[in-house]
């Protein structure tokens, strides 16, 4: 590996990260073209169906692309989808070397783009900052293989693990900085999911509100009996589509009323509760590749209990509210009889947002299954 490979790949990763949330089920990708020690082209994949990062960089470089080195955060594609193969364009433009961070897990690519480049005599270096690239595309990496969305569960609680006071008040547990970051999380996910109890209690919009306008996710409500009030704000604001996940037990007249408002109502199991596994399968069929769960303890706990949460983002405010069993907790599920069975978080990071602390990690269910 050339000493500057990591430097230029970091630029490509920054380009990719800037487009997080914009590409739907497609990956975020950045590309930098370097020739004679100069950056001659840069690009990022900005929107599903639009030109890929390599194409933007090649178009910027023009004739300078010949003899250059391309730094790409994900293996150049080799198939015809909504756009043509990027590997073919790199070959035609005379790029002499390609540095790739990560191999594309898409079964229709999975190394074939790299193989095509090498077959044409282009030098290919793999694995430069691979972990960083894989982290950027964790949702894509799961969806493209399983056809199930990547699930992030976000919570906000007091130091004693409460998400609301005994009287139901929950505004606000965390401060403005933490709440701002949550809106960034919404921008980066295709959908946001909550339970009907949250809608009935708070009447939220579940939109993205940032100083620089962001993308609002599809709003998804788990509502086994279609109890959602028909006057709820999110049913009328037109900010983003609404999907209601329900069961076969739900009243037909309520279903018709919601559909008349433009809501997509999806059956997920016979009841009495929404079958979360079936729900994620249906959302995958709708090409929703990432879901942010912002819900009360029962629904958040259900995702953990069923081993469906891929990532946890846990905010803690420096507050103690008490309230015992009357104050709802962060995760409400039957749990385990022994501490050795506890779900552990791996690859932990800790950040502060104002006075609040945020723990981000990936749950390991191995001990819980023992």
Check residue 166 and give its pLDDT. Answer: 87
Angle at 267 between CA 263 and CA 269, to 5 degrees: 155
Asked whether residue 224 carries a pLDDT value surpassing 70, the answer given is yes
Q: What is the pLDDT of residues 184-211, one digit of tens each?
A: 999 999 999 999 999 998 999 999 999 8
Q: What is the pLDDT of residues 18-59, one digit of tens each?
A: 999 999 999 999 999 999 999 999 999 999 888 999 999 999
Picking from 131, 79, 122, the residue whose alpha carbon sits closest to that of residue 102 is: 131
Picking from 70, 62, 110, the residue whose alpha carbon sits closest to that of residue 90 is: 70
Residue range 147-364 forms a domain whose CATH class is: alpha beta
Would the CATH topology of 5-137 be identical to that of 147-364? no
In three-state secondary structure terms, 164 is coil
- Architecture of the domain spanning 5-137: 3-Layer(aba) Sandwich (3.40)
DSSP-assigned letter for residue 234: G
Respond yes or no: is residue 285 known to be catalytic: no
Place of tokens 């999911």: 193
Asked whether residue 271 carries a pLDDT value surpassing 90, the answer given is no
- The pLDDT mean for the chain works out to 93
Picking from 71, 59, 3, 60, the residue whose alpha carbon sits closest to that of residue 34 is: 71
Cα dist from 2 to 12, 13, 239, 275, 369, whole Å: 16, 17, 48, 51, 45
Check residue 367 and give its pLDDT. Answer: 76
> What is the distance between the alpha carbons of residues 55 and 57, in angstroms, rounded to a whole number?
5
Check residue 1 and give its pLDDT. Answer: 58
Q: What is the pLDDT of residues 135-147, one digit of tens each?
A: 999 999 999 999 9
8 A C-beta contact, residue 128 and residue 8: no
In three-state secondary structure terms, 2 is coil
Check residue 193 and give its pLDDT. Answer: 98
Take residue 12 and report the two structure tokens written for it: 């490509």
Of 10-14, 68-72, 201-205, 365-369, where does mean pLDDT reach its minimum? Answer: 365-369
Where is 130: in which H helix or E strand? helix 130-136
Domain ranges in the chain are 5-137, 147-364
Where is 183: in which H helix or E strand? helix 176-188
Residue numbering of the annotated binding site for NADP(+): 156, 172, 198, 202, 224, 296-302
Q: Which of 6, 54, 126, 239 does the annotation list as catalytic?
A: 54
> What is the distance between the alpha carbons of residues 331 and 155, in angstroms, rounded to a whole number?
9
């Amino acid at each position: 590996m050339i000493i500057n490979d990591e430097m230029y790949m970091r630029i490509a990763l920054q380009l990719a990260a800037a487009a997080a949330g914009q590409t739907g089920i497609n990956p975020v990708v950045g590309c930098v073209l370097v020739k004679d020690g100069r950056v001659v082209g840069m690009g990022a994949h900005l929107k599903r169906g639009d030109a890929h990062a390599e194409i933007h960089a090649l178009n910027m470089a023009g004739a300078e692309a010949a003899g250059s080195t391309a730094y790409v955060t994900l293996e150049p594609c080799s198939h015809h989808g909504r756009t043509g193969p990027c590997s073919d364009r790199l070959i035609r433009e005379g790029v002499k070397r390609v540095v790739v961070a990560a191999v594309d897990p898409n079964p229709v690519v999975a190394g074939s783009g790299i193989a095509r480049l090498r077959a044409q005599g282009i030098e290919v270096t793999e694995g430069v900052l691979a972990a960083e690239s894989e982290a950027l595309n964790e949702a894509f990496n799961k969806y493209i293989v399983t056809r199930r969305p990547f699930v992030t569960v976000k919570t906000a609680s007091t130091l004693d693990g409460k998400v609301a006071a005994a009287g139901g008040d929950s505004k606000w547990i965390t401060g403005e900085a933490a709440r701002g970051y949550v809106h960034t999380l919404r921008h980066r996910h295709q959908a946001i999911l909550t339970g009907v109890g949250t809608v009935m209690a708070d009447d939220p919009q579940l939109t993205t509100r940032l100083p620089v306008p962001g993308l609002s996710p599809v709003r998804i409500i788990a509502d086994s009996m279609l109890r959602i009030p028909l006057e709820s704000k999110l049913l009328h604001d037109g900010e983003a589509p609404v999907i209601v996940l329900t069961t076969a037990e739900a009243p037909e007249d309520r279903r018709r009323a919601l559909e008349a408002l433009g809501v997509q109502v999806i059956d997920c199991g016979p009841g009495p509760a929404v079958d979360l596994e079936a729900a994620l399968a249906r959302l995958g069929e709708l090409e929703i590749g990432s879901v942010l769960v912002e819900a009360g303890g029962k629904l958040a706990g259900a995702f953990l209990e069923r081993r469906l949460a891929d990532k946890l983002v846990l905010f803690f405010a420096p507050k103690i509210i008490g309230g015992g069993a009357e104050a709802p907790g962060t995760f409400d599920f039957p749990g385990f009889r022994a501490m050795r069975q506890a779900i552990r978080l791996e690859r932990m990071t800790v950040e502060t947002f104002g006075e609040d602390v945020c723990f981000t990690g990936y749950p390991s269910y191995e001990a819980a299954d023992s």
